[in-house]
């Protein structure tokens, strides 16, 4: 059999993932890190206030401030993933420290109201930063595969369309079989069987810099708005290797892909809060779609060694292609909530969030993205989420607990239709007239399926644990 060195196809690589439906989803799912107080109460703050987290959730809650405040938070974020792949369970851990919340709120009485009784009772102005979403995930998959290979994907594409083969590597991995008049690879000749190892990671976050304002009307009605500038930095890595367990020409195959996506987005939020009685509050907020302008920095490398009649050959290939900027418009989101004060000592809050992930859109001046937008509409759907939190005060001490459920954004026919996020939280706080100190602990769990390539799938359970401390100074 005579070999002809060909170019292996670039399929399902992470550079493509930067401009497909999944990116619109990644930018649309929030976990509202915020302050320790809000995290301890499950993030249920749509109908509560006097917290800097309100700027990114329901800005009307800023109207409940009676004094000015500076606040800052720090979080230790720990992620653990258990992946079952080819009958083998593998675990990975990762830890990082983030700044989820820093800001300043200035509240002042309305002088005009004091003079002639017109307008709101007070105004609140706030500026700062809230972490909207933290990317902190790594997975390890490994096992012996006797039925398929990563090379099956480019082989199928070459055979389907031999005249369209973008370069992936010059390693002699896929070749033309002149005897059978078709493209092939070594597993098809010597039989499947390889030890596969994969490493997948996500690092980064979405942070929101905000300018907010709110007004208080007679301690009954509050209205607020926020202009948010979101900053995205997301680094994704995919490393995959195959070491054949059969006696075939291929000795090993290693590949690595890195994609860094960065950019800015802008949105606006409008919120209202109504308190018909002092012990109950009803909140509603609407966030406009966030318009992102994004840039990708992609690189890939492949190393392979093959032994055949002419000898042993080690091939390597590296590439860092350029991709033009593109835009993603995330869907609108609606939050509603109700809170109750019990015996002037306890609080109970319940939130509901609605997002239709199928409404996200991708666009560019250089490409239509019509197929990708059709995929978004087909793969994703409306999602319903619930957050619940409670607080009980004993003197200067406040004890808190909460839970949350973020529904799956996938359509009922999708593989990950049950990929919801379930979490619970707790914490405490100490508040005096001029300062506050809060601590929270929360843990969320998500089960989903991950495919390193078309023909294999891993079952993954990801647990994310956060410990947050917040300091506040009022004056």
Q: Please check whether residue 232 lies inside any domain of the structure.
A: yes
pLDDT (mean) for 64-87: 96
| Residue 254 maps to a domain | yes
Q: Where is mean pLDDT largest: 25-29, 228-232, 377-381, 429-433?
A: 228-232
Residue 251 belongs to some domain of the structure: yes
Q: Report which of residues 14 and 268 the model is more confident about.
A: 268
Question: Average pLDDT over the chain, rounded to whole?
Answer: 89
331-348 in b/e burial notation, b at 16+ Cβ within 10 A?
bebebbbbbebeeeeebb
Residue 289 placed within a domain: yes
Domain with 202 in it: 14-144+193-474
What would the mean pLDDT of 120-143 be, rounded to a whole number?
94
Q: Looking at the domain assignment, is residue 389 inside a domain?
A: yes
Per-residue pLDDT averaged across 139-150, rounded? 96
Give the pLDDT mean for 372-379: 90
Q: Is residue 5 domain-resident?
A: no
pTM of the model: 0.90
Tokens of 281: 């509050």
* Domain assignment of residue 167, yes or no: no
pLDDT digits 0-9 by tens, 149-166: 998 888 887 777 766 554
Report how far apart the first and last C-alpha atoms of the chain are (Å, whole number): 83
Into how many domains does the chain fold?
Answer: 1
Q: Is the pLDDT of residue 170 over 50?
A: no
Tell me the pLDDT band of 171, cut-offs 50, 70 and 90: very low
pLDDT at position 172, please?
63
pLDDT of residue 48: 97
- Summarize pLDDT for 263-317 with one digit per residue, the tens: 999 999 999 999 999 999 999 999 999 999 999 998 888 888 888 777 887 877 7
User: In this model, does residue 424 exceed pLDDT 90?
Assistant: yes
| C-alpha gyration radius of the chain | 26
pLDDT band at 425 (very low <50, low <70, confident <90, very high): very high
Q: Is beta strand 333-342 parallel, antiparallel or unpaired with respect to 88-109?
A: unpaired
For residues 416-429, average pLDDT:
96
Give the tens place of pLDDT for each residue, 237-269.
Answer: 999 999 999 989 899 999 999 999 999 999 999
Domain harbouring 367, CATH code: 2.40.160.60
pLDDT at 162: 64
């Amino acid at each position: 059999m005579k070999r002809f060195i060909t170019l292996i196809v670039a399929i399902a690589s992470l550079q493509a993932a930067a401009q497909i439906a999944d990116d619109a989803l990644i930018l649309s799912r929030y976990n509202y890190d915020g302050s320790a107080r809000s995290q301890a109460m499950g993030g249920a703050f749509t109908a509560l206030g006097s917290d800097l987290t309100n700027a990114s959730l329901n800005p009307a809650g800023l109207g409940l401030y009676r004094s000015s405040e500076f606040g800052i938070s720090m979080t230790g974020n720990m992620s653990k993933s258990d992946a079952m792949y080819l009958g083998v369970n593998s675990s990975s851990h990762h830890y990082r420290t983030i700044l989820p919340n820093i800001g300043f709120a200035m509240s002042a009485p309305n002088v005009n109201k004091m003079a002639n009784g017109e307008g709101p009772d007070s105004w609140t102005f706030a500026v700062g930063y809230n972490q909207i979403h933290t990317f902190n995930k790594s997975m390890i998959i490994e096992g012996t595969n006797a039925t398929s290979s990563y090379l099956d994907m480019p082989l199928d594409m070459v055979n389907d369309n031999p005249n369209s083969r973008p370069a992936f590597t010059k390693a002699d991995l896929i070749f033309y079989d002149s005897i059978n008049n078709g493209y092939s690879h070594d597993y098809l000749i010597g039989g499947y069987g390889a030890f596969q190892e994969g490493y997948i990671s996500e690092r980064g976050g979405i942070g929101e810099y905000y300018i907010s304002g709110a007004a208080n009307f007679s301690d009954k009605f509050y209205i607020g708005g926020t202009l948010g500038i979101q900053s995205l930095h997301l680094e994704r890595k995919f490393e995959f290797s195959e070491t054949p367990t059969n006696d075939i020409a291929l000795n090993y195959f290693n590949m690595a892909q890195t994609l860094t996506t960065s950019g800015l987005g802008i949105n606006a939020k409008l919120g209202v809060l109504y308190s018909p009685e002092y012990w109950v509050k009803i909140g509603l907020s609407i966030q406009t779609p966030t318009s992102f302008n994004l840039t990708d920095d992609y690189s890939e490398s492949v190393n392979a060694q093959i032994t055949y009649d002419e000898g042993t050959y080690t091939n390597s290939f590296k590439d860092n292609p350029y991709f033009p900027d593109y835009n993603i418009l995330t869907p609108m989101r609606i939050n509603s909530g109700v809170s109750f004060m019990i015996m002037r000592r306890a609080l109970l809050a319940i939130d509901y969030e609605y997002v239709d992930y199928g409404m996200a859109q991708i666009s560019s001046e250089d490409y239509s993205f019509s197929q990708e937008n059709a995929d978004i509409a087909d793969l994703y759907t409306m999602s319903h989420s619930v957050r619940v939190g409670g607080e009980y005060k004993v003197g200067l001490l406040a004890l808190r607990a909460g839970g949350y459920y973020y529904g799956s954004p996938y359509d009922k026919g999708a593989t990950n239709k049950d990929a919801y996020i379930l979490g619970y939280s707790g914490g405490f706080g100490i508040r005096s007239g001029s300062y506050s100190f809060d601590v929270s602990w929360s843990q969320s769990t998500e089960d989903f399926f991950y495919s390193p390539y078309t023909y294999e799938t891993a079952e993954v359970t990801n647990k994310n644990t956060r410990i947050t401390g917040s300091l506040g100074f009022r004056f």
